[in-house]
């Protein structure tokens, strides 16, 4: 090998390594800013939502999960903006603040088993993976479900199991669930999901028609099976597809 090649190859490798490290640091800084913005929005909306601060475990998960790896390449530069982004097939990845709020409302414990209806890109499931013992997530749009499965496996979210199917019916095989989260707006609360919610469990679901007002609901099932519902705030979600 000539002298100039001996010099050039290590130099190229060093530039490549520096670029990768710099990009990683930049994404980490953006995530930190995103988390600060979530904290500020939570404080501002606390009177409406009843949550003046997001639990520290949830905030830590929001800061650790690389949202830029859950969006299409053309949206990577927008990944840490506090807004929903298109992920294809008419679906979106939810606004980070809403992801944090919905996760916080469920009060997930390390021993919990959680059901998610509407996998999308897999981002919400990845957040839950850092909080729960197991996460089962269902996506009705087959290409999105397959992409999310591959992505979650590649990123080593081993607590998450995915399925392509109609989330209206839940996932009976792993029921009952300590918490259920629905990431698309239903016109009413699906009865199979209510049956699969464990006594003492919580469900967070947006309810309302696509072009009318939707509200994020917190549903709690008491130990004796009594159900209570609390309206949290108005939201805008893509409609729940299926039944």
Using one digit for the tens of pLDDT, what is the confidence trace for 22-75?
556 799 999 999 999 999 999 999 989 988 999 999 999 999 999 999 999 999
Q: What is the pTM of this model?
A: 0.88
- What integer pLDDT is reported at residue 166 of this predicted model? 96
Predicted local confidence at residue 210, as pLDDT? 66
Identify the pLDDT of residue 14.
Answer: 43
Is the predicted pLDDT of residue 21 greater than 90, yes or no? Answer: no
> Token pair for residue 56?
């520290």
List pLDDT tens digits, range 68-100: 999 999 999 999 999 999 999 999 999 999 999
pLDDT at 17 over 50: no
Q: How many residues does the chain have?
A: 243
pLDDT at 24: 66
User: Burial level of 152, CB count in 10 A (0-12/13-18/19+)?
Assistant: buried
Q: Which residues are within 8 A (CB) of 174 and not within 5 positions of it... i.e. 6 or more apart?
A: 113, 115, 134, 136, 161
Work out whether strand 227-235 and strand 214-221 pair parallel, antiparallel, or are unpaired: antiparallel
Residue 189 pLDDT > 90, yes or no?
yes
Number of H helices, E strands in the chain: 7, 9
Query: pLDDT > 70: what percent of the chain?
Result: 89
Q: How confident is the model at residue 241 (pLDDT cuts 50, 70, 90)?
A: confident
Mean pLDDT of 176-188: 95
CA distance 162 to 174: 12
> Residue 25's pLDDT is what?
77
Residue 191 a catalytic site member: no
State the Cα–Cα distance between residues 88 and 48, nearest whole angstrom.
Answer: 32
C-alpha angle 126-74-85 in degrees, rounded to nearest 5: 55
- Mind listing the pLDDT tens digit for each residue in 196-234? 999 999 999 999 976 678 999 999 999 998 999 999 999
pLDDT at 213: 85
pLDDT at 239: 85
Q: Residue 179 corresponds to which tokens in the numbers above?
A: 């918490």
Q: What is the DSSP pairing of strand 91-93 with strand 113-117?
A: unpaired
The DSSP output letter for 69 is G
Kindly report the average pLDDT of the chain as a whole number: 90
Instruction: For 125-159, give the DSSP string.
Output: HHHHHTTSSEEEEEESSHHHHHHHHHHHHHTT-TT
Listed range (8-22, 147-161, 196-210) with the worst mean pLDDT: 8-22
> Of residues 19, 94, 191, 222, which has the active-site annotation?
94
pLDDT at 7 over 80: no
pLDDT higher than 80, residue 105: yes
The domains of the chain, with CATH numbers, are 3-235 (3.40.50.150)
Distances (CA, A) of 166 to 82, 88, 116, 127: 29, 18, 12, 22
């Amino acid at each position: 090998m000539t002298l100039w090649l001996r010099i050039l190859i290590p130099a190229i490798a060093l530039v490549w390594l520096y670029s990768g490290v710099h990009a990683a640091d930049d994404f980490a800084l953006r995530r930190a800013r995103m988390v600060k913005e979530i904290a500020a929005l939570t404080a501002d909306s606390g009177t409406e939502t009843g949550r003046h601060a997001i639990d520290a475990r949830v905030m830590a998960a929001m800061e650790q999960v690389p949202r830029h790896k859950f969006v299409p390449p053309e949206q990577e530069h927008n990944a840490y903006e506090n807004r929903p982004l298109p992920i294809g097939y008419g679906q979106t990845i939810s606004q980070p603040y809403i992801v944090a709020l919905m996760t916080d409302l469920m009060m997930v414990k390390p021993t919990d088993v959680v059901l998610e209806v509407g996998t999308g890109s897999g981002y919400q499931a990845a957040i839950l993976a850092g909080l729960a013992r197991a996460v089962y997530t269902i996506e009705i749009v087959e290409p999105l479900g397959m992409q999310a499965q591959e992505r979650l496996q590649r990123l080593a979210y081993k607590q998450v199991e995915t399925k392509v199917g109609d989330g209206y019916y839940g996932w009976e095989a792993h029921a009952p669930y300590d918490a259920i989260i629905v990431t698309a707006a239903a016109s009413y609360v699906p009865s199979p999901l209510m049956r699969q919610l464990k006594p003492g469990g919580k469900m967070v679901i947006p309810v309302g028609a696509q072009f009318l007002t939707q509200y994020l609901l917190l549903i709690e099932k008491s130990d004796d099976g009594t159900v209570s519902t609390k309206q949290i705030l108005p939201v805008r979600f893509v409609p729940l597809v299926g039944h």
